Chains A and B, each alone.
Chain A
Amino acid sequence: MKNKTFLSLMAAASPVFFTGCATDMHYVQTGDKEQIISSQINIQDYADAANAAVKELLDSGAIDKVANPPALLELSRIINNTGQQVDTDLLTKKISIALLQSGKAQTKIVDSKATGLQQENEFLNDQKSTRLPDFTLSGKIIETVDRAGSTRRTTYSFQLSLNDPKAGVQVWEGEKEIGKQGKRPAVSF
């Protein structure tokens, strides 16, 4: 009888116990209202920087000034001058996708297999059709930190340059600054 009562109580209480195991994990959209803002560079910062760069680049018309459009672009080095380990593809890939979608530029192959096949094709057909890039895209991400008391402001500067390797000049430059400010908690764990 005691066992029966105990089992009944356990059955009645089980939803309470199981509820405790549930999480509020759910899908979110990048850049939505719920986004977590930390002092670290995050996916939203890359999206903002890429958005600003593409907008300014397309608006400038610099990429339209090529003899055979669409322009051929080669992604060069993005120097990371922050104290964080970052994957700069999060920035450059967004830019190259957006430029490809715009129809204004194509990016040079970076896949070694595809490059090998291209060279093989050129050799077999006895032709040199490899087109040199019209532009290269290079840049730098810089982090600066200012502190006053417990307030900390971190600014990330995303600097990008579109270089014309034939003329040896930079035909476009853009910079997007993203600042984040917050207070350090009085007690840290």
Chain B
Amino acid sequence: MLLAGCTTVNSVENAQKDGQRKMISDQRVITDASLNRRVAIVGINSAMTPGGLLKVQVELENHTRSIQRFLYHFEWFDANGMQVNNILSANVPEQIEGKESKFIYSVAPNLNCRDFRVKFIEAD
């Protein structure tokens, strides 16, 4: 009974990787240390879509043995640092199993986007 909800994930992947992730350096502002301890940001990589839009992928890892639920949303900025209006900027609910590594991604809302910010908030 005490172990209820503690389900962790085993995984396997190819050791010799053909694809190379273009990792980008990040700058973090952590105000919820508790959430950050449980669901940690491992790294961020970016690529371009066939249509030339910036695509960003964030790798997350659940450091706990239980499922964690959180909300996230991407904000996008143009070359002048101005936030780009995006109809789809609402929080996205997500969950991650115990000890699981997971990717979330987003595609820039238009070709003018140069920078981004991802916000995470713990779900109730």
The interface-forming segment of B9-17, B35-43, B104-112 is: B104-112
* CB-CB contacts below 8 Å: A46-91 with B: 47-48, 50-51, 54-55, 58-61, 63-64
B51 touches A55 (CB 8 A): no
> Which residue of B50, B71, B92 contacts A61 across the interface (Cβ within 8 Å)?
B50
A102 within 8 A of B: yes
Answer yes or no: B121 CB below 8 A from chain A CBs. Answer: yes
Contact B105 A33 (CB under 8 A): no
B76 to chain A, nearest CB (A): 11
Given contacts A33-B121, A44-B90, A48-B93, contact A101 B85 (CB under 8 A): yes
* Residues A87-144 near B (CB distance < 8 A): 94, 97-98, 101-104
B90 touching A98, Cβ below 8 Å: no
Interface size class of A (residues with CB under 8 A): 20 to 34
Q: Which of A30, A54, A58 has the most CB of B within 10 A?
A: A58
Question: Taking A31-B90, A54-B88, A98-B86 as contacts, is the C-beta distance between A61 and B111 under 8 angstroms?
Answer: no
Assess A55 versus B53: contact at CB under 8 Å? Given A33-B124, A98-B88, A101-B85.
Answer: no
Interface of A is mostly: helix
Task: Specify the main secondary structure of chain B where it touches its partner.
Answer: loop
CB-based contact A33/B109 at 8 Å: no
Best-buried of A32, A33, A59 by chain B (most CB within 10 Å): A59
Q: B105 contacts which chain A residues (CB < 8 A)?
A: 55
A187 vs chain B, min Cβ distance (A):
24
Q: Is the beta-carbon distance between B107 and A59 smaller than 8 angstroms?
A: yes
Q: Does B55 contact A (CB under 8 A)?
A: yes
Q: Determine the chain A residues whose CB is within 8 A of the CB of B124 once the complex forms.
A: 33
Contact partners of A31 in chain B: CB under 8 A? 71, 73, 90-93
Give the distance to chain A from B74, nearest Cβ to Cβ, in Å: 10
Chain B residues positioned under 8 Å from A44 (CB to CB) = 90, 93
Question: What chain A residues lie within 8 Å of B111 (beta carbons)?
Answer: 102-103
- List, in ascending order, chain B residues with CB within 8 A of A33's CB: 71, 121-124
B33 within 8 A of A: no
Option from A58, A94, A97 in Cβ contact (under 8 Å) with B53 = A58
In the complex, A59→B122 CA distance in Å? 28
